[in-house]
Chains A and B, each alone.
Chain A
Amino acid sequence: MIKKIYFQSIFFSFLFFKEAFAAESGGMPQLNPEFWISQIFWLILTFGIMYAVLSKFILPKISNNLESRKSQILENIEAAEKQREDSEAKLKEYDEIILKRKSEAKTMFNQTREKALKDIMAKKEVLDQQIDDEINKAEKEIEVLRVSAPDKINKIAIETSSELLEKLIGSGVNSSSISAIVDDLSKRNGDKYYGN
């Protein structure tokens, strides 16, 4: 009881405005010590239980959750970093392989091209040789024909002219004189027909 009065007197001195309310409403219920002990008791009880449960069961769980999430996120970041590095290495490897294969393909292409060119050149040479041979052969034949052609023509001309003369005159003409004339003519026109 003495304690109550002591507390009350302290608050009276601090809460000067108490008088203002006291005048119209009979004071502040806060300063009525009737239920102070009850409030203290229930405050200590509820707060104590809450503190005990929070500190023993709930807060460690929350901190645990936060920790585990943090570590899990860190782990995931680490794993992601590792995977990224892996994929970078793989990409490098892939690039290298591609580059290597490309150069291989290039050399292969070049080799094949050279080989093909060589083949073509060889075949071309053979063909050229053959063509040259054929041309030579043909030229020889033409030469032979050209050499023999005037004689044959002369012969035909002599025969034809003798027959014509026979038909025109009605009697045979000396073939030697005809051949002389034809020879003379052919010699004169030979250049015109054969170009040499």
Chain B
Amino acid sequence: MAANPMSQFDVYRIGPEIKVGAFDISFTNASLFMIISTVSILLVFNLGSKRNSVLPNKMQLLAELSYTFVAKMISDTAGSKAKPYFAFIFSLFMFVLFCNMFGMIPYTFTVTSHIIVTFILASFIFIGVTIIGFIKHGFGYLKLFVPSGVPAVLLPLIVVIEIISYLSRPISLSVRLFANMMAGHTMMKVFGGFVISLGLVGGWLPLSFSVALTGLEILVAFLQAYVFAILTCIYLNDALNLHH
């Protein structure tokens, strides 16, 4: 198991098989880490919002800094109209961030390294943003595909490109997060395997690489959560404030 760098992504059943109709919804290690992440988020932010002192304690400071960080991110990219979606983007950012970070602990499972998870999140965002766009602007939302100031000759081509780029949003969004997480964890596993195979003499080089990679991966874990959230904000901005 340890030799295979992909085996860390294996999903296996914990407990009995649960079937609803034809669907297998058994509790797996992925479910376990989803629950761990969400419970940690709720715990941290519940502790951080419990007491309201003028001089915040550490937990309160953490919660309030996260709140203002996400609030600023949303207002900077999507403006004040995006306020009703703050809770969703906050949850999304925190969920992805906590899943990524829990994945950095050895012997844990990274929920976001599974394409199905990121794809469901991304397609939910895509569908939601499209619905919001059509509710806000009606069929005028289709103007998104017709950029202003483009020569009429190029218009058919541009519209096709815009539509393709719009439709590829959920795929790019989900694959970006999934591929980053998977590649990073695979690399760490591979270097970890080198440490073992090269032994006490030659193992130090891959070990130092592994240490550096851990730092890099923690950065990537934060960055990808941030990118995921900020792209959601940008898509939301397109739907709320039609600029084209």
Residue B178 is within 8 A (CB to CB) of chain A in the complex: yes
Contact of B24 among A38, A50, A64 (CB under 8 A): A38
Secondary structure type dominating chain B contacts: helix
User: Is the CB of B163 closer than 8 A to any CB of chain A?
Assistant: no
Is residue B2 within 8 Å, beta carbon to beta carbon, of the partner chain? Answer: no
B35–A46 CB distance below 8 A: yes
Distance (whole angstroms) from the CB of A71 to the closest CB of chain B:
11
The residue of chain A having its C-beta at the shortest distance from the C-beta of B87 within the complex is A55
Whether A29 and B46, one on each chain, are in contact in the complex, defined by CB atoms closer than 8 angstroms, is no
A42 to B91, CA, bound (A): 16
Q: Are B171 and A34 in contact (CB under 8 A)?
A: no
B194: CB under 8 A from chain A?
Answer: no
**Contact yes or no, B64 A66, CB < 8 A:** yes
Question: B241 interface residue, CB < 8 Å from A?
Answer: no
| Top 4 closest pairs, chain A to chain B, by CB | A55-B87, A42-B31, A61-B49, A50-B38
A47 sits at the interface (CB 8 A) = yes
In the complex, residue of chain A having the shortest beta-carbon distance to the beta carbon of B11: A35
Min CB distance A153 to B, Å, is: 114
**Can you identify 26 A-B contacts, CB atoms within 8 angstroms?**
A28-B182, A30-B178, A30-B182, A35-B13, A36-B116, A38-B24, A39-B117, A40-B120, A41-B23, A41-B25, A42-B25, A42-B31, A43-B111, A44-B120, A46-B37, A46-B38, A47-B91, A47-B95, A53-B42, A54-B41, A55-B91, A58-B45, A61-B49, A62-B45, A65-B49, A65-B52
Q: Which of A38-79 contact B (CB under 8 A)?
A: 38-44, 46-47, 49-51, 53-55, 57-59, 61-66, 68-69, 72-73
Does any Cβ of B come within 8 Å of A37's Cβ? yes
B162 to chain A, nearest CB (A): 20
Q: Encode contact with A along B41-80: 1 for CB under 8 Å, 0 otherwise.
A: 1100110110010100000100110011000000000000
Query: Which residues of B1-53 are within 8 A (CB) of A?
Result: 4-7, 9-11, 13, 23-28, 30-31, 34-35, 37-38, 41-42, 45-46, 48-49, 52
Q: How far is the CB of A124 from chain B (nearest CB, A)?
A: 76
Q: Closest residue to B42 on the A side, CB-wise?
A: A53
Q: Mark B96-115, 1 if CB is under 8 A from A, else 0.
A: 00000000000000010111
**Do A39 and B116 contact each other (CB < 8 Å), given the known contacts A50-B91, A50-B95, A55-B91?**
yes
Q: What is the CA–CA distance of A32 and B6 in the complex, to the nearest angstrom?
A: 12
In the complex, the answer to whether A62 meets B63 with C-beta atoms within 8 Å is yes
**Nearest residue in B to A42 (C-beta to C-beta)?**
B31
Would you call B34 and A25 a contact (CB within 8 A)? no
B227 within 8 A of A: no
Chain A min CB distance to B39 (Å): 9
| A contact set with B: CB distance below 8 Å | 7, 11, 14-15, 21, 25, 27-32, 34-44, 46-47, 49-51, 53-55, 57-59, 61-66, 68-69, 72-73
Most buried by B among A37, A47, A57, A66: A47
CA of A186 to CA of B22, assembled, Å: 173
Q: Smallest CB–CB gap between A70 and chain B, Å?
A: 10
For residue B159, give the distance in angstroms from its CB to the closest CB of chain A: 24
Q: B42 to A29, Cβ gap below 8 A?
A: no
Cβ-defined contact, A58 with B54, below 8 A: no
Query: Is A42 a contact partner of B9 (Cβ separation < 8 A)?
Result: no
Kindly report which residue of chain B lies nearest to residue A72, judged by CB atoms.
B54
Whether B52 lies near A39 (C-beta < 8 A) is no
**Interfacial chain B residues near A34, Cβ < 8 Å:** 11, 24
B88 interfacial by beta-carbon distance below 8 Å: yes
Which residues of B have CB within 8 Å of A41?
23, 25
A37 and B22 CA atoms in complex are apart in Å by 10
Q: Tell me whether A58 and B9 are in contact (CB under 8 A).
A: no
Q: Which residues of B contact A28 (CB under 8 A)?
A: 6, 9, 182
